Amino acid sequence: DFTVAMETVTAWAWGPLSLATFVALLRGHPARHVLQLVVSMGQIYGDVLYFWTAARGGWAHSDPRPLYFWGYFVALNGIWLVVPGLLVADAWRQLVTAQRVFDRPPRKSR
């Protein structure tokens, strides 16, 4: 049930928001890093919940074969933690840099 609910949110919310993020990045829109941060955090949240519910359920729906479990379930789903994690770090750096520039006191004119 959880996977169906989560994938519904992914399809109807994260999908269009991901497209908006992509377009914003292509166009250099000022909101691009905020969108990148939101989408990436949403992906991380969903993946953590996916792993957590499987673990709490005793891995009942996981294939016990090592290649399937470690290769497919852990590694391929783990990519959806690593890539968004890198994107969160990038957005964080970009937003902090922008805020530093914004917070600088104005220069005194002569």
32 vs 40: CA distance, rounded Å: 12
CA 85 to chain centre: 7
- Tens of pLDDT along the chain (110 residues) come to 777 888 888 889 989 999 999 999 999 999 999 999 999 999 999 899 989 988 998 888 788 888 988 998 899 999 999 999 999 999 999 999 999 999 998 888 77
Helix (H) or strand (E) holding 3: helix 2-9
Asked if residues 81 and 44 have their Cβ atoms less than 8 Å apart, the reply is: yes
Prediction pTM value: 0.84
